[in-house]
Amino acid sequence: MPLDRLAAMFKALSHPQRLKIIQKLCGCCAPGAACTTRADGLRCCAGDLGADLGLAASTVSHHLKELRQCGIMEVQRCGQRVECWINPAALGQLTAFLAGAVSMHPAATGGGHGRSKR
């Protein structure tokens, strides 16, 4: 995974509103899961996110685009609405980078340069 792409993903997480979106989507559903009904309060269409965040629809759309373009989120048109969900694998790549870096660090448990590298 090239550093440019990792940096782009980290950039998508570099805004509090987008972190809120992540949290909400992670407490939410895969597409087509049972919980996509609104009654559960778990539905993840763009408008609901905007209401939660107190942002204009256009601003939310902008944030979703950021998250989508770097692969952290995916969307699907579903009638009038656009449902969105997290791609956990993308977040996994970020964790892998961070964990990998720390494990190289001498302070890592088992600690020596490159021991248990990766």
Partner DNA sequence: CCTATGTTTCGATACATGTCGAAACATCGA
Partner DNA sequence: TCGATGTTTCGACATGTATCGAAACATAGG
Residues that bind DNA (CB under 7 A): 11, 14-15, 17, 45-48, 50, 54-66, 75, 77, 79-82
| Count of CB atoms situated within 10 Å of the CB of 53 | 17
Give the number of residues in contact with a second copy, rule: CB under 8 A.
Answer: 41
Q: How far is the CB of 52 from DNA (least distance, A)?
A: 12
Backbone angles phi, psi at 74, to 5 degrees: -130, 155
Tell whether residue 1 is a contact of a second copy (CB under 8 A): no
Residue at token pair 């939660």: 52
Partner interacting with residue 32 (select from a second copy, DNA, none; CB below 5-8 Å by kind):
none
| Count of CB atoms situated within 10 Å of the CB of 22 | 17
